[in-house]
Amino acid sequence: MTEEPKTVSLTEVKKILTKEEKERELSYEKKLALQHARDFAKLTTTKTKQLISELKKLERVSEYHAYKIADVLPEGPNDVRAIFAKERFNLEPKEISEIVDIVKKYIE
């Protein structure tokens, strides 16, 4: 039986691959993934988990979107809209503002 895929944040990818790197040689793809995670993961694992937890409490933020927001750390309304662009609904300005405010708490 195969495992169900699990969503992980960039900080978790960085942590997992750094640990694996200490144990054995990483494949080319994993080295690229680790470098990407090192370049773009801006929060600690703890802060990322707290951010995701807080975002998931919002009505229209799914687990997928919470992880995407934690990885991208949108700085303004347009960044938030870009994350939700493929959805069949539009976030209200108040909802967008809530997301931006939550993210700001963690990046300051």
Supply the CATH number for residue 56's domain. Answer: 1.10.150.80
Indicate the pLDDT class of residue 1, thresholds 50, 70 and 90.
low
20-67 per-position pLDDT tens digit:
999 999 999 999 999 999 999 999 999 999 999 999 999 999 999 999
Q: Is residue 5 part of a domain?
A: no
Residue 87 to residues 16, 57, 58, 65, 99, Cα–Cα distance (Å): 30, 18, 16, 10, 16
Angle made by CA atoms 68, 74, 75, in degrees to the nearest 5? 170
Give me the number of domains the chain comprises: 2
Domain shared by 32 and 50, yes or no: no
What is the reported pTM? 0.85
Q: Is residue 2 part of a domain?
A: no
